[in-house]
Amino acid sequence: MYFVEQQFGDVYVLAIKGKLTDSPETDELHARIESFLHRQIKKIVIDLKHVNLLASAGIGALMHCFTTVRNAGGELKFAGMTGKVRSVFDITRLNGILPVYDTVSAAVHSYADSY
């Protein structure tokens, strides 16, 4: 698994590629989110387009990241889910709890719509 960071104005996108199943993947995700917050980055999108497996530990990690960002006064959105990951979000009804967008572009642009 690896991560790619991109910046679109004041919105940062963290693309995850590979599996999000257990440590060390979930630990690395937490560290990346904490790094954003330490740099005062409060508008974040996690791109899940290239995540091919999401296990319960990965779901917990995403929820933990969402709560951490929100508690720090930021906003975290999720985008680009396909296949099995989309099914996991549908079955667990995370898409009713977490802000989910079909594309990274839609998630990034939603920040402008909130002001």
* DSSP label at residue 24: T
How many other β-carbons are positioned within 10 Å of the β-carbon of residue 80?
24
More confident of the two residues 112 and 114 = 112
Instruction: Output the average pLDDT for the chain.
Output: 93
Task: Say what the pLDDT of residue 111 is.
Answer: 94
Would you place residue 115 in the very low, low, confident or very high pLDDT band (cuts 50, 70, 90)?
very low
How many structural domains compose the chain? 1
Domain of residue 76: give its range. 2-113
Distances (CA, A) of 102 to 8, 36, 76, 77, 99: 17, 23, 15, 11, 10
| Distance of alpha carbon 4 from alpha carbon 81, whole angstroms | 16
> What CATH number does the domain containing 67 carry?
3.30.750.24
